[in-house]
Amino acid sequence: MVSEGKSRPHVVVGVDGSAESVGALRWAACYAAATGATITTATGLGPAPVGVALNAISDEERAHIQDVVLDKALIEVFGTSTPDDVQTKIVYGHPAQALVKESEDADLLVVGHRGHGAFTGMLVGSVSLHCVSSAACPVVVVRGRS
């Protein structure tokens, strides 16, 4: 499936630095290799404050998330040379809301079954569940191995 005006499918992957999100990125990389899709990794930065205008993400916060979360995941999946058709995006707001928003311009959303902040024993994390029920495109939930 390719959205109107696009020549290649576009996949958004939720990455929070957890092993589950790296597994989701690995799955998306295989999918992209098979279909020619482009990939955008998306990371939500903290819960958005209630009733307050959203603040911009500081350069320091952005650099920390890029280095600690995104670059580490990209190196684990792609090695030292990330393909040109893989982009990263850091969004200020709750991860579930950020991923649902990003799904509006995607052909597929890929998330891990649970990541940072998950309650022990949950089969599907709250972010995954929110994405499955609210995303604007199909969602793949990649489960890890027990």
Could you give all domains of the chain from N- to C-terminal order, each with its CATH number? 10-142 (3.40.50.620)
pTM, to two decimals? 0.82
Q: How far apart, in Å, do the first and last CA atoms of the chain sit?
A: 32
CA angle 88, 125, 29 (to 5 degrees): 35
Residues 54, 93 contacting (CB under 8 angstroms): yes
Residues 111, 16 contacting (CB under 8 angstroms): no
One digit per residue, the tens of pLDDT, for the chain of length 146 reads: 555 666 899 999 999 988 999 999 999 999 999 999 999 999 887 665 555 555 567 788 788 888 878 889 999 999 988 999 999 998 888 889 999 999 999 999 999 987 555 444 444 568 899 999 999 999 999 987 64
